Amino acid sequence: MKKKHKILIIDDEEAIRDSCSQVLRRAGYEVQEAIDALEGLNLIAKESIDVVLLDLKLPRLNGMEALPKFKEKQPHLPVIIITGYATIESAVEAIKKGAFDYLAKPFSPQELRVIVKKALQARSSFLTQPGLEEGEFSDDFSDFDMVVGTSPAMKKVLEIVRRVSPTDSTVLITGESGTGKELLAREIHKHSPRQKAPFVVVDCGALVETLFESELFGHVKGSFTGAYATKHGRFEVANGGTIFLDEISNISLNIQAKLLRVIQEREVTRIGSSRPIKVDVRIIAATNQDLATCVRQGTFREDLFYRLSVVPVHLPPLRERKEDIPYLIDYFLQKYCQKAKKRIKTIPPQVKKALMEYDWPGNIRELENTIERAVVLAQGDELDMADLIYHGLGTRYSPFPTSGDFKSLEEIEREYIKIVLQAQGGNKSRTAKILGIDRKTLLAKIKKYNLEDSS
């Protein structure tokens, strides 16, 4: 007989304990109750508990003070904070300190079942990984065929992906443009129970603000000018699968509030409709910005940030894992030789040296574009150094000379924009992202510095 998972409910309100217990027992769980945190701590010292529901406002020892004590006793025990709307900020603070997630009162039976299920999946995923307690990482990542890399940094990333993939936990992938955030998101989906369901990509930086809500949540016919037919939003299309919100930092505060509600309620409402539609979607978000800084600057909601970053994954830039470059070169060389129907047998030492020494501001995307072009331009059975010089890789770029003729800031800016623009094959959107400016500003600088021919 399968052992029942045991849930501990800690709340000084008897009505809350009773209602939660009834819902969870009907869902097939074994339930324990405690009226305060001290009683709960004594209980987990004697019994095996799988998930804790912990109220923040408790006598003797409040939930915020008790949380680190629970994590100290059982580091991998998911603790779900229960809180009233007035103390949401405290719940977010608790997540910073290690809480799995939070439930805002009043919550529905469905919300309770969903969040407990997610917590159990996360716990199971972490506890079943070999070498977890020792902090060891597997060396066999052959099943991750979209992501190439053997450096310690990439092994750590892939180990986290391996552990989180079987769960429904929300993942936030951070990293510079071109580091492969979408590929990593696809790997998570591919190794999840949702792999046969849709994987829907939303480029938050490409959608027009006025149409963004319609794209995400859909609209009904006649709800606004141009709404000639009812449209399913991306969340509906992704139902049962995964939605990937790329460059999440670009969405407005208005859309952030509505996205937060979707995450909390697990339902969307089309524009022009009052009927909510239930959706079962796993969310993976990505950004090349520091969202914590965006929160401090007031451009990103703090509660949404912590909802999205249940499991944060950072992809390091290529310049910080140069030991992966030879493997990436071989991978792209094979890919584009097959595509161009060419057989390139050797890469001269000077070419390898140039590829290894370059800092790759465009990361893996820039390296891939460079190898593709070199393969296309190659006239023999080896890559030529001249092809790399053509793409700005003949010498390592440094805008800060230590002697000789110093350049003005405008000269340095012009030269660097030209290099990045060429490395991105003239793609202005990618160039703007790498430079950290918007597309309109980039177009103005291209015109100012007469760089139209460089693209």
CATH number at 368 reads: 1.10.8.60
The answer to whether position 132 is within a domain reads no
What per-residue confidence (pLDDT) applies to 404? 53
Nearest to 347 by CA among 360, 366, 332, 369: 332
pLDDT at site 138: 44
Closest-CA residue to 389 (of 379, 374, 367): 374
Q: Which helix (H) or strand (E) holds 86?
A: none
Residue 79's DSSP bridge partners are 52
Summarize the confidence of residues 103-128 as an average pLDDT.
78
For residue 236, the SS3 value is: helix
Q: Which residues of 273-300 are buried (b: 16+ CB within 10 A; e: fewer)?
A: eeeebebebbbbbbbbbebeebbeeebb
Q: Determine the pLDDT at residue 20.
A: 94
pLDDT, tens digit (0-9, with 9 covering 90-100), for 431-446: 887 777 888 888 888 9
Q: Is residue 140 a part of any domain in this protein? A: no
Buried b (16+ CB within 10 A) or exposed e, 317-344: bbeebeebbeebbebbbeebbeeeeeeb
Joined tokens for residue 106:
């009043």
Give me the domain span that covers residue 338: 319-454
| Residue 63 parent element (H or E) | helix 63-73
Q: Are residues 114 and 102 part of one domain?
A: yes
Pick the residue with more confidence: 159 or 200? 200
Token pair 């008790």 is found at 66
Taking the C-alpha atoms of residue 436 and residue 419, their distance in angstroms, rounded to an integer, is: 15
Question: Residue 402: is its pLDDT beyond 50?
Answer: no
Q: Comparing C-alpha atoms, which of 85, 323, 311 is closest to residue 184?
A: 311
Instruction: Name the one residue in this structure whose structure tokens are 């709960």.
Output: 40
Cα distances from 418 to residues 395, 397, 407, 442, 446, in angstroms, run 15, 12, 15, 11, 9
pLDDT for residue 290 is more than 60: yes
Looking at the fold, whether 336 and 281 belong to one and the same domain comes out as no
171 phi and psi angles, rounded to 5 deg: -120, 135
Instruction: Tell whether 157 and 99 lie within a shared domain.
Output: no
Report yes or no on 224 lying in a domain. yes
Examine the domain organization and report whether 183 and 250 are in the same domain. yes
pLDDT class of 365 with cuts at 50, 70, 90 = confident
Taking only the tens place, the pLDDT of each residue in 368-396 is 888 888 888 788 787 776 666 545 554 44
Closest to 53 in 3D by CA, of 14, 98, 94, 10: 10
Q: Which residue has the higher pLDDT, 275 or 100?
A: 275
Distance CA(423)–CA(361), nearest Å, equals 9
pLDDT at 246 over 90: yes
Q: Is residue 146 part of a domain?
A: no
Contact by Cβ (8 Å): 315, 360: no
Establish if 134 belongs to a structural domain: no
Instruction: Give how many domains the chain has, as a whole number.
Output: 3
119-162 residue pLDDT tens: 887 777 555 444 434 334 444 444 555 566 778 888 888 888 88
Residues 90 and 73: their CA atoms lie apart, in Å, by 22
Q: Quick check: pTM over 0.75?
A: no
**CA-based nearest residue to 338, from 310, 383, 372, 315:** 372
CATH number at residue 59: 3.40.50.2300
| pLDDT value of residue 394 | 46
Residues 376 and 286 in one domain: no
Q: Is residue 167 part of a domain?
A: yes
CA 229-234-239 angle, to 5 degrees, is 110
